[in-house]
Amino acid sequence: MNPTHPNLEIGMLLYPGLTLLDLIGPQTVFSWFANTHLVWKTMDPVISDTGIGILPTRTFETCPSKLDVLFVPGGFGQQQLMDDAEVRTFLADRAAQSRYVTSVCSGSLLLGAAGLLNGYKATSHWATRDALGAFGAEPVDARVVVDRNRITGGGVTAGIDFGLVLLAKLRGDEAAKLTQLAMEYDPAPPFLSGSPKTADSSTIRQAMEFMVAHAEKQAGRRQSEVAS
């Protein structure tokens, strides 16, 4: 750690229906070493996929142009953004000027849609990982995947591991270690059910059903907002 290092500049995309934990995991990891900018089209509150309202700190126009890290979270709202030209233009523009271009969960599909994973190894939530192939990416079954300056994390809670890996690259192992300790990241999952490799087949089926139902609910919510 070098105490004279300036704060990192980290641009984190917000959008309606994001999974807030995808973002708050790494944002908490980075926070002692960074200015974390929460970026959306407007400064109006953005509602997460579990109904939490969060305030952007920057718009696409006011987000710093040169970033240490561009970050995209996943969430059920990701699907409604895949054809959004404004979002794709913002991501492609900042990616060209960022040291690292990154995502957690289904956020990698948004990076893919913006043309930013073509020819790169990448990961995503286990349920959406194979869809990366459609964007010229090579899906990898790993919690954190580093390929040149693209770093992608798996589903939701993988954002904490992702954040610590990236912080170690940017500010050294000691910075990541003290952050891990301050966050008491010494996990003790109560079940062996965090991956399709270990979960029961009935649990996998039920999780898929819940995820499809929530994706449809999110799509319906967007639809009715567009109509109103």
* Binding stretches for a copy of itself (CB under 8 A): 1, 19-21, 24-25, 27-28, 31-32, 36, 38, 45, 50-55, 57, 105, 125-126, 143-144, 154-158, 160-161, 164-165, 168, 173-174, 176-191, 193-196, 198-200, 202-204, 206-207, 210-211, 214
Q: Shortest Cβ distance from residue 133 to a copy of itself (Å)?
A: 19
- Check if the beta carbon of residue 167 is closer than 8 Å to that of residue 153: no
- Residues 14, 46, 105, 137: which is the catalytic one? 105
Q: Which is nearer to a copy of itself, 62 or 195 (CB)?
A: 195
Strands 150-153 and 144-147 turn out to be antiparallel
Nearer to a copy of itself, 98 or 180 (CB): 180
105 as an active site residue: the answer is yes
In the complex, minimum distance from the CB of residue 92 to a copy of itself, in angstroms, rounded to a whole number? 26
Q: Which helix (H) or strand (E) holds 13?
A: strand 8-13
Which structure tokens are listed for 218? 């999110």
Name the strand (E) or helix (H) holding 38.
strand 34-40
Residue from 160, 155, 152, 113 nearest 135 by CA? 113
Q: 29 in helix, strand or coil?
A: helix
Residue in the structure block whose two tokens are 């929460």: 38
Rank residues 95 and 151 by Cβ distance to a copy of itself and give the closer one. 151
Q: Which is nearer to a copy of itself, 99 or 143 (CB)?
A: 143
Min CB(45)–a copy of itself separation in Å: 6
E strand residue ranges, the chain: 8-13, 34-40, 46-47, 53-54, 58-59, 67-72, 98-104, 121-122, 138-139, 144-147, 150-153
How many helices (DSSP H) and strands (DSSP E) are in the chain?
6, 11
| Min dist. Cβ of residue 105 to a copy of itself (A) | 8
Residues with catalytic roles: 105
